Chains A and B, each alone.
Chain A
Amino acid sequence: MNAIALPPAIGQPLVRVDGPAKVTGQARYAAEFTPNKLAYGAFIQSPIANGRLTNLDLSMAKAAPGVLDILTRENCPKFPPYPEEMTKPGAPGENRVPLQDDRLHWVGQFLGVVIAESLEKVRHAVSLVRINAQTEKPILRTDSAAAEKTATRPEKWVGQEELQVTRGDIAKAFTDAPNECKIEITYSTPIENHNPIETIATTAEWTSPNDLLLHESTRGIKQLQKVVAHAFNLQPEKVMIVSPFVGGAFGSKGFQWGHTLLAAAAARLVRRPVRIVFSRPQMFDSAGQRAHTEQKFSIVTEKKGKLIALRHATTTHSSPIAEYPEPCGNMTRMLYSCPNVEVSHRLVHLNLTTPCPMRAPGEAPGVFALECALHEMAEKLGIDPLRFRLTNYAEEDEFKNLPWSAKRLRECYERGAKKFGWSKRKALPESMRDPEGNRLGWGMATAIYPAKQQPTAAHAILTADGRLTIQSATHEIGTGTYTAMSQLAANALGLPLADIHFELGNSEFPEAPVNGGSWGTASVGAAVLGVCAELKKVVRAQVGSWPNDSEKLRIALKESGYAQFEADHKAKPDKGAREKFSFQSFGALFVEVKVDSLGQTRVIRATGVYDVGRILNPRLARSQIYGGTVFGIGMALMEATLPDLRTGRIVNANLAEYHVPVLADIPQFDVEFLDKPDPHMPEIGARGIGEIGIVGAPAAVANAIFHATGKRVRDLPITPDKLI
């Protein structure tokens, strides 16, 4: 047996198994499935932010070359409301199905679909639709009186997390505290967009009058199947969704369903398959986004730095047809030890497109405020910001009153500080310079992200030639699912990687959750390990044994006379453990920034040490942290979606003016994982790493900029104008 054929170890830095397919163009994305007689759809979109649609003048569009038909309210199927569990308050979905009424709620809202013979023809034809509407004054500012009238105080986030929390006597803590021991500061973050490189695409094909085939860029196949089947009054299995590759999601491609329904309705209308691909501007106005947040943060401490009280009051927004609040305060409930805590969330409804989760929803903007406020308090007290955090280290989750499943944050701080050289930091702002005279700043922040697990099932087929296929309706959104799951299965069964075929992205496969919440590896991994164990049992029962050598196994399988062996498994979180422990991942991020006299900030280096449980594949894991940190640097320094405050039109809905970091903005990275399994997570003890990389990065950068310049910028992004 040669070395390559050995089963891979857990912790081996395998390269992506789907890498060659991706770089050679063999990996097919939703817009690359081309059924016969494919037609092309394009959305008619609302030009105004608030009002009523009077009528659509379609005469010119209908006469344009190549136009097949136009789907509008007049000829759209009557969709029932979305399933209730997906649209209840706090859930990320919209509560209004498309094309059922004449209300206009934001610029870009879908008003119909033009269908034509080619992409070029349909894009031209859609520009010929004349939209007549009654305009009303839009509500566009969270601080307006009109917005105040829409304000609510949401109780829960996605049906689980409590958004209004009080413990201790917060009022007394503030009344009693001397001025030198308290601060009250407001932070704000702008609307941000996910901007995956693959824009959203749907190819809808009715393979029979009651069978719908969708090729869709989604990270929530099973949920989408439910939504579409419900809308068209079909059994779920009559809606087949195929999505083997998704070109990035970051929180998009999960909860905005209207476009899929309309693509399917358009395909039914013209009795041909229809493909709709979002333009880049549509990724800004119709694909979800992170809401704007304003966060009022108050802290009271003892003179030596022990926290007495934390108050974190968030105002955020949603559209008029959704109730999703950005849950900024959730980590404030328990990241530090503090007897008096008040976390509140207020939601206003604006005439802007519907927000939804975006990588580390709540944690990214919320921990920005928390970690900046702590830094500011430490500065005020004259305490080193790292020591300040250690002083307030939470030995247990004081919100849930539960011990941590495992917490090695102290080790993250210590390792990170050592690697970064934190002890050489000069405490005073503006005290460090590079040889060219640019101001240098060192900042740090804590990273935290919940470690979750969702029920997930998998099916395994082992053929007599020793090849294994495992299926689960999960997704490859670029994080490395194919690789990680193949690696797990190969390791569990002692098979060479080349004999493992992991299949995902198909609604006919067993149930898997939406890819989100950083729970992919823990959830799907548990199903894969479970189905491998089941498969061993099946083979043992039918063959007599499971030889640990893959060659011997092959011979035994062949000799058994069976053509193949199948097994199923459904993995669920350990309810007992979930009730006994609080599951969180942790990390400490240290950054160095350079700020020049023109206000330009560059992050020079970033040192992060993470306690995220066992690392399955360090190459993939590091990529997640690099990507997450770069995401956070973008949030800190440049990203902002700007809806014009008079019209609600997003003025920078393109990648030239909505800035994300380019390669030259990316620092030198030093990322380390403690790589200790979480004993209460499923078998391998991995907690998930998709989102923790962004958490902490905006605050670490903002804190470093303060250290460099003496200027505290509390309103992201920190662009040159704010440092001049």
Chain B
Amino acid sequence: MNPFTYSRANDQQTAISGIAANPHAKFLGGGTNLIDLMKMGVEHPEQLVDINRIPLTGVEQLPNNGGLRIGALVRNSDLAEHELIKSNYPVLSEALLSGASPQLRNLATTGGNLLQRTRCYYFYDPAFPMCNKRNPGSGCGALEGYNRIHAILGQSEQCIATHPSDMCVALAALDAVVRVQGPKGERTIPFADFHRLPGDTPSVETNLQPNELITAVDLSALPVAKRSHYLKVRDRASYAFALVSVAALLEMDGGKIKSARIALGGVAHKPWRAHKAEAALAGKEPNEQAFRAAADAELAGAKGYKYNSFKVELAKRAITQALGTVAKMA
């Protein structure tokens, strides 16, 4: 780990001006990912601005039935166990609880989770020569390497890494809105626009601008979210990243699907909103055949590599199963 300076900010303005002065400064939230990456030599900030004292730890109901505002420093465990999240957005609670370990969830923050970086083996080892994220232009080590955990949707030849977060998959399905504060004031970013596909610039992972601080994540009031579920497929029962995961919501009208919201994890560089599957489900009866057809539609454009082609079929089965579970909910 490189030497760095440390300071603590008690309010948003101090935090933002604190990192604005140094292009190699970073905010420190829970630190569960950043510190790990610093130890590995992947990240080497010169300065850390600790934001843990900023009062962004509340989960508030927005006025006029406007949904929920989740402070950026709400810990994953607190959010997962929050009564309103458990009852109104079960998909989010389930996603949170399926991630990491209790110890990590006790520290990890909502804002930090949005910025979690990929677990691509070749990104995580700075001694590995090829990685377009770490060294733009050096190539992608995973293309011809161990790519079992890599992307099948939306990737580029420059990068086939996946986004590792579970929470973000649920937030994508819930159409959350990210609130950020920057030197020029506050703005909001729709969740779908927050993370980026790799394209030719895999080192740029989000549309967050330099010196912007995530302050909150807003969830709209979404009665349909009560019928929601998060399904995660992994190599062991706990403490493993998703091979594939599915966040699914179904809005019913009579006996038919009015609308579906589906997001996938473990398959792309960002939480993957399954618009094709959603479109295929509109107006259909909720049965396995329809679910499978929707999954087929979504994965039609998938591309696998030497070790991860299984994810195409796995994603189809996971989507089908997750929708089946939601359909059975009261």
A residues engaging B (CB < 8 A)? 47, 65, 120, 123-124, 127, 597-600, 602, 637-638, 642, 644-647, 649, 651-652, 656-657, 659, 661-665, 719-721, 724
Judging by beta carbons under 8 Å apart, are A664 and B238 in contact? yes
Nearest opposing residue in chain A for B104, CB measure: A656
Nearest 9 CB-CB pairings of A with B: A664-B237, A651-B121, A721-B310, A664-B238, A598-B233, A724-B310, A665-B237, A662-B238, A659-B236
Question: Which of B119, B313, B321 is close to A724, meaning CB atoms less than 8 Å apart?
Answer: B313
Q: Identify B145's interface contact among A120, A600, A646, CB under 8 A.
A: A646
A720→B314 contact, CB < 8 A: yes
Instruction: Tell me whether A598 and B314 are in contact (CB under 8 A).
Output: yes
Contacts of B237 in A (CB 8 A): 602, 662, 664-665
Shortest Cβ distance from B50 into chain A, in angstroms? 18
How far, in angstroms, from A123 to B41 measured CA to CA in the complex?
Answer: 11
Cα separation A719 to B148 with both chains bound (whole Å): 11
B225 at the A/B interface (Cβ < 8 Å)? no
Rounded to whole angstroms, the CA-CA distance of A645 and B313 in the bound complex is: 26
Contact yes or no, A656 B313, CB < 8 A: no
CB-CB under 8 A from B311, the residues of chain A are 721
Query: Interface code B124-142, partner A: CB below 8 Å = 1, 0 otherwise?
Result: 0101110000000000010
Point out the residues of chain B lying under 8 angstroms from A652, CB to CB.
121, 146
Q: Is the CB of B314 within 8 A of A657?
A: no
Interface assignment of B191: CB less than 8 Å from any CB of chain A: no
- B127 and A47 contacting across the interface, CB-CB below 8 Å: yes
Name the residue of chain B whose CB is nearest to the CB of A279.
Answer: B39
**Which applies to chain A's interface (DSSP): helix, strand, loop or mixed?**
loop
- Complex: A37 Cα to B299 Cα, angstroms: 62
A124 contacts B3, CB within 8 Å?
yes
B45-68: CB near A (< 8 Å → 1, else 0) gives: 000000000000000000000000
Do B243 and A637 touch across chains, with their CB atoms under 8 A apart?
no
CA distance A589 to B108 in the complex (A): 41
Query: How far does the alpha carbon of A602 sit from the alpha carbon of B313 in the complex, in Å?
Result: 20
- Which residues in A have their C-beta under 8 angstroms from that of B318? 598
Across-interface contacts of B308 in A (CB, < 8 A): 721
CB-CB < 8 A to B1: which residues of A? 120, 123-124
User: Chain B contacts of A637 at CB under 8 A?
Assistant: 235-236
Whole-angstrom distance between the Cβ of B234 and the nearest chain A Cβ: 7
Residues in B neighbouring A124, C-beta threshold 8 A: 1-3
Q: Pick the contact of A721: B3, B127, B243 (CB < 8 A).
A: B243
Counting chain B residues whose Cβ lies within 8 A of the other chain, the interface size class is: 35 or more
Asked if B321 contacts A656 (CB within 8 A), the reply is: no
Query: Closest CB-CB distance, A360 to chain B, in whole Å?
Result: 21
Tell me the bound Cα distance from A426 to B321 in angstroms: 27
Q: Is the beta-carbon distance between A662 and B236 smaller than 8 angstroms? A: yes
**B41 x A598 contact (CB < 8 A):** no
Bound complex: CA A637 to CA B310 (Å): 17
Asked if B240 is at the interface of the complex by the 8 Å CB criterion, the answer is yes
Write out, one digit per residue, whether chain B residues 295-322 have a CB within 8 A of any chain A CB (1) or not (0): 0000000000001101101100110010
Q: Tell me, in angstroms, the Cα distance from A232 to B321 when the chains sit together.
A: 65
B291 contacts A by Cβ under 8 Å: no
Contacts of A647 in B (CB 8 A): 128-129
19 A-B pairs in the complex with CB atoms less than 8 angstroms apart: A65-B3, A127-B2, A597-B317, A598-B244, A600-B233, A600-B234, A637-B235, A642-B146, A647-B129, A656-B119, A656-B239, A657-B121, A662-B236, A720-B233, A720-B234, A720-B235, A721-B308, A724-B310, A724-B314
Question: Is B27 positioned at the interface, with any CB of A under 8 Å from its CB?
Answer: no
Known interface pairs A651-B145, A659-B240. Does A719 touch B127 (Cβ–Cβ under 8 Å)? no
Query: Smallest CB–CB gap between A630 and chain B, Å?
Result: 12
- CB pair B236 A646 closer than 8 Å: no
Report chain A residues within 8 Å CB of B239: 656, 662
6 additional A-B residue pairs with CB within 8 Å, beyond A124-B2, A656-B241: A598-B317, A598-B318, A644-B145, A647-B129, A665-B236, A721-B243
Contact A724 B235 (CB under 8 A): no
> Is the pair B127, A659 in contact by a Cβ cutoff of 8 Å?
no
Q: Tell which of A602, A651, A724 touches B125, judged by Cβ atoms closer than 8 Å.
A: A651
**In the assembly, what is the distance between CA of A532 and CA of B314, in Å?**
63
Residue of B nearest to A127 (CB): B41
Asked if B253 lies at the interface with its beta carbon under 8 angstroms from chain A, I say no
Whether B310 lies near A644 (C-beta < 8 A) is: no
Contacting pair A651 B146 (CB below 8 A): yes
Query: Which residues of the other chain, B, contact A657 by a CB distance below 8 angstroms?
Result: 119, 121
Whether A598 touches B2, Cβ cut-off 8 Å, given contacts A47-B127, A662-B238, is no
Cα distance, A120 to B318, chains bound together (Å): 44
CA distance A151 to B119 in the complex (A): 36
* Cα of A419 to Cα of B119 in the assembled complex, Å: 44
Q: What is the CA–CA distance of A721 and B148 in the complex, to the nearest angstrom?
A: 9
Chain B 220-264 interface 0/1 with A at a Cβ cutoff of 8 Å (1 = within):
000000000000011111111101100000000000000000000
Between A123, A597, A721, the greatest number of chain B beta carbons within 10 A of the residue's beta carbon is seen for A721
- B280 → chain A closest CB, angstroms: 21
Residues of A contacting B128 with CB < 8 Å? Answer: 644, 647, 649, 651
A597 CA to B148 CA, complexed, in Å: 19
Q: Does B272 contact A (CB under 8 A)?
A: no
| A661 contact from B121, B233, B236, Cβ within 8 A | B236
Q: Tell me whether B233 and A599 are in contact (CB under 8 A).
A: yes
Measured CB to CB, the nearest residue on chain B to A597 is B317
Closest beta carbon of chain B to A598's beta carbon, Å: 5
Contact between B321 and A659 (Cβ–Cβ < 8 Å)?
no
Cβ of B89 within 8 Å of any chain A Cβ, yes or no, is no
Shortest Cβ distance from residue A654 to the other chain B in the assembled complex, whole angstroms: 8
Q: Which residues on B sit within 8 Å (CB–CB) of A645?
A: 145
CA distance A599 to B310 in the complex (A): 10
Q: Mark B18-62, 1 if CB is under 8 A from A, else 0.
A: 000000000000000000000001000000000000000000000
Residues of B within 8 A of A47 (CB): 127
Task: Determine the distance from Cα of A116 to Cα of B287 in the docked complex, in whole angstroms.
Answer: 66
The chain B residue with its CB closest to the CB of A123 is B1
Provide the bound-state CA to CA distance between A724 and B128, in Å: 31
- Chain B residues with Cβ below 8 Å from A724 are 310, 313-314, 317
* Interfacial chain A residues near B321, Cβ < 8 Å: 597-598
Partner of A644, one of B146, B241, B243: B146
Q: How far apart sit A124 and B314, CA to CA, in the bound complex (Å)?
A: 42
Taking CB as reference atom, which chain B residue is nearest A128? B2
Give bound CA distance, A553 to B68, whole Å. Answer: 76
Pick from B128, B148, B311 the residue with the most CB of A within 10 Å: B128
